[in-house]
Structure 1
Amino acid sequence: MTQSDNRGGGRRRPPDRGAQQSGRRGPPVSGVEPRRAACEIVTRVCEAHQPLAAVLDGEDSGLEPRDAALARAIARITVRRRGDIDWCLANLMDKALPKRAEAVRSILRISAAQLLFMRQADHAAVNVAVALLKGDAATGGFAGLANAVLRRLIRERDLLLARLPVEANTPGWLWERWVATYGEANAAAIAAIHREEPGLDLAFAAPSPLPEGAERLPTGGARLPAGAVTEIEGYAAGSWWVQDVAAQLPATLLGDVAGRHILDLCAAPGGKTMQLAASGARVTAVEIDAGRAARLRENLARTRLADRVDVVVGDALQAEGTYDGVLLDAPCSATGTMRRQPDVAWAKTKADITALSRVQKDLLRHAAARLAPGGSLVYATCSIEPEEGEAQLRFVAKFLPELTLEPITDGPAAAFATEEGAMRTLPHMALEGTDLRGLDGFFAARFRRN
């Protein structure tokens, strides 16, 4: 299996449901519709390169709630285990599918996901795949191939899973970088935890009792098993927001912000903005994307923090004024978020990292200029690539002499302090003082303006 080069978004929809329901190609097959919806999601993510979160947020399959939930579950595990699935299928096929066979590739992927990782009824998964392919003249010619490959997958499933290399689920160029940077054992641990569905981390607007079934995080937040956000206790009251525990750490590096004016650059989705506001800061939150800024305003209204935050739609490089503190959550490759956004692994390139590291340098220069003497600047990225983290310390030391690195020695971020005095989390790490493991990969450093 190979990744499609069709980046133009001109995807082929899965087979027409009218043809399947008409009975022209045989009696109806049970369970087709949720798999059709799953196929559509997977095609949009894996072939048209749309973000999984955005596709799921905007998805409206018209299915009954139970079938819609099944479609989303199949799609999520297909995207999460995409590399593993493609490795297994490649071992069962003499040659890769044509690059433009998007619908066929998606049907095989969702079918393999069910057979390998969901252990649904074997015959049902095969029958639905064949029905979906036969339902469209453009894909019907692949029905025999799919039937043979999937039945062989059933026979050889246990052997394939036993042989499945840990790096199969990671693009080769990323795997090589992680081995070179962190060593093979850490790279393998990162790749392994990316296969797992993460829990749900919450941050609180004020000290609150934990929701039922939650575990306390070192940041004061809480972790729950994955589930429907709006059904968790306290959602309607605005008591909390969803934010990975690692993403909660950078804002704590600014210390006591009560009564201080903080500039939050590149603010959306707004978790750190709300942290600062909940801690008593006056916040100017700058976000260039109007849609993301609108979502931030909605979250501020729900958490009753809007009166403490001025949301500005604009370029962070054009921000003006002088502030007591600056939080720069810089645009980055987001390779540290692959536990929660598994599609990121296949959406980035080496060139992205190089280009983004240049943008980060420009933002660091501008953030330093917005900082009052004696003020603190926190630089953070949700990347595990050294160019977007540790290398920026050397840039600041050489080109921004007005900034002095302040080593991280206390607070919850100190558990992840590096020898240089910055903070580095990796996705497989454990949380200090808990039995919990798994968090986004983050880098953060704190500087003081001389």
Structure 2
Amino acid sequence: MPSTRFAPPTEAPGLATRRTAADILDGILHKRRTLDEQLEGATAHPGLKALADRDRALMRRLVATILRRLGTLGHLLSRLLDRGIPTDAPRAQSALLIGAAQILWMDVPDHAAVDLSVRLVQSDRRAAKYAGLVNAVLRRCAREGQALIEEVRSESLDVPPWLMARWSRHYGENTAKAIAAAINYEPALDLTVKADAAYWATRLHGEALPTGTVRTSLQGSVTMLPGFSDGQWWVQDAAAALPARLFGDISGRRIIDLCAAPGGKTAQLAQAGADVTAMDRSPNRVARLRENLGRLSLTVRSIVADAIEWQNDVGVDSFDGVLVDAPCSATGTIRRHPDVAWLKQESDIGALTALQQRLLKKAITLLKPGGTLIYCTCSLEPEEGEQVVAALLASEPGIRRVPVSGAEVAGLTDIVTPAGDLRTLPCHLPHDDPTLGGLDGFYAARLTKS
């Protein structure tokens, strides 16, 4: 006899993806949780497990697009809403942002973007009353949105005002606008290869940059790309790959990396033949470092410790080289981590600068006379770069700068400062296709101990 049970209603395709995107967006904008911690590891959003790889990639691209265009979206929605975005129902706000981003910048049919956003608010008790509003606003966005954006098109809209003011002050208004324009695009994937960059550029349908990094616009899971499983390369922005190279020939030399995880620079040092000690204070991050280096078949000595408090117990009196990739505001990584722009505050910089100074003082005690100290940060803020090094040189007469030459960075003289330090900007290395251009913002100085 046929069953009389009713099948449970099936959820609209794509709704789970948008719901997860809304949760993660809420985590960033209202709970100050980073995008990475909501995507990976023990703290990852539980809904990710139920999403196919394709849907997971769409979800991440959707959240990243909203964060890159948050200022423009806010302005646009304020024009389309008589009373502003509802503040008593976060899911309504998320639904509007998700729908508008799909309509304006993503390859999603307008009717699907509107329908899924309406379903998103209908499924939330507090937001359900705004279903009609969301429907009307997004339909109007589909008709008028592009024209409204053209009226107010500005590179500075999508950068927090405090950051834009700082960049204008430090780099000039034109460069600040160029930085803001560069971080509006999802960047291509950068890979540091063990050998034969030209071969891997061809194999991965990308190009070899002058610095040796392979840049590819291939989409999908990194783990499925050729060369991943047998450890032929690792993911690392082209700018992040430069500081470790400033040591020069380090084969057989003892190098300590004081803030090593997740291990990109550590891998460079080990691949270059150094005897590497890698340290990080986070057990989880060190576990990830060990996992990464295991895949690459590279061996280092890894330690879980706070670098400032660490008592040298590895049987080495001093090191030939010390790498300090210091914790910082990470404003140079916004093109790859757009949540940084909305999670950091100007007040964070002072505390981070004090930590950077303490790390440098510790590094000096570990460095042998004549040894090389590389200090770097992925920040665009001079307080965390040029000014930290200037203060160190003024207070430590036994430390001097060893200037970097253009020849050491593939002839890219525009990324070398007049003082001889490295300073990359997101607008450097331009390309006809904006997604294939740019660098993370990095600062690096090479110092030696007399």
- TM-score by structure 2 length? 0.89
> Does the alignment pair 1:177 with 2:162?
no
Residue number in structure 1 paired with 2:179 = 190
Aligned-residue offset at 1:431: 7.0
Cα distance in 1 for partners of 2:378, 2:440 equals 7
> Does the alignment pair 1:343 with 2:334?
no
Long gaps (5+) in structure 2: 1-6
Cα distance in 2 for partners of 1:375, 1:67 equals 49
Aligned-residue offset at 1:54: 2.5
Q: 1:22 to 1:185 in 2, by over 3 A?
A: farther
| Structure 1 residue identity aligned to 2:355 | V
Cα distance in 2 for partners of 1:28, 1:122 equals 19
SS in 2 for 1:253: helix
Say whether the 8 Å CA contact 2:210–2:410 is kept in structure 1. no
Q: 1:69 to 1:426 in 2, by over 3 A?
A: closer
Aligned-residue offset at 1:111: 0.7
Residue number in structure 2 paired with 1:316 = 307
Q: 1:74 to 1:437 in 2, by over 3 A?
A: closer
| Structure 2 residue identity aligned to 1:412 | V
Say whether the 8 Å CA contact 2:259–2:325 is kept in structure 1. yes
Residue number in structure 1 paired with 2:3 = none
| Structure 2 residue identity aligned to 1:423 | L
SS in 2 for 1:318: coil
From 48, 56, 64, give the equivalent of 1:76: 64
> Does the alignment pair 1:111 with 2:124?
no
Aligned-residue offset at 1:219: 2.8
SS in 2 for 1:246: coil
Say whether the 8 Å CA contact 2:251–2:273 is kept in structure 1. yes
Cα distance in 1 for partners of 2:237, 2:277 equals 22
SS in 1 for 2:302: strand
Cα distance in 2 for partners of 1:119, 1:206 equals 37
Say whether the 8 Å CA contact 1:97–1:105 is kept in structure 2. yes
Identity of aligned residues (%): 44
Cα distance in 1 for partners of 2:217, 2:246 equals 28
Residue number in structure 1 paired with 2:227 = 234
List, as ranges, runs of 4+ consecutive aligned residues in structure 1 with deviation greater than 4 Å: 27-30
Say whether the 8 Å CA contact 2:326–2:375 is kept in structure 1. yes
> Does the alignment pair 1:374 with 2:374?
no
From 189, 198, 203, give the equivalent of 1:200: 189
Aligned-residue offset at 1:22: 6.8
Cα distance in 2 for partners of 1:219, 1:239 equals 17
Residue number in structure 1 paired with 2:17 = 34
Deviations 1:58-77 (A, max 9, x none): 34251344444433332232
> Does the alignment pair 1:146 with 2:134?
yes
Long gaps (5+) in structure 1: 1-20
SS in 2 for 1:424: strand
Say whether the 8 Å CA contact 1:130–1:146 is kept in structure 2. yes
Q: 1:65 to 1:55 in 2, by over 3 A?
A: same
Cα distance in 2 for partners of 1:22, 1:168 equals 45
| Structure 2 residue identity aligned to 1:238 | G
Aligned-residue offset at 1:184: 1.3
| Structure 2 residue identity aligned to 1:151 | R
The range that moved more, 59-68 or 148-157, is 59-68
Aligned-residue offset at 1:33: 2.8
Residue number in structure 2 paired with 1:388 = 384
SS in 1 for 2:303: strand
Say whether the 8 Å CA contact 2:86–2:92 is kept in structure 1. no
Q: 1:189 to 1:348 in 2, by over 3 A?
A: same
Deviations 1:379-431 (A, max 9, x none): 00000001011112320221111100111113117621100111100001017
Aligned-residue offset at 1:335: 0.2
SS in 2 for 1:126: helix
Residue number in structure 1 paired with 2:439 = 439
Aligned-residue offset at 1:49: 2.0
Cα distance in 1 for partners of 2:99, 2:182 equals 23
Say whether the 8 Å CA contact 2:85–2:93 is kept in structure 1. yes
| Structure 1 residue identity aligned to 2:381 | E
Aligned-residue offset at 1:85: 1.6
Residue number in structure 2 paired with 1:419 = 418
Say whether the 8 Å CA contact 1:365–1:400 is kept in structure 2. no
Q: 1:154 to 1:408 in 2, by over 3 A?
A: same
Residue number in structure 1 paired with 2:145 = 157
Q: 1:284 to 1:104 in 2, by over 3 A?
A: same
SS in 2 for 1:112: helix
SS in 1 for 2:241: helix
Q: 1:84 to 1:230 in 2, by over 3 A?
A: same
Residue number in structure 2 paired with 1:8 = none
From 126, 130, 137, give the equivalent of 2:118: 130
| Structure 1 residue identity aligned to 2:437 | R
Aligned-residue offset at 1:258: 0.4
The range that moved more, 51-60 or 320-329, is 51-60
> Does the alignment pair 1:222 with 2:205?
no
Aligned-residue offset at 1:205: 2.8
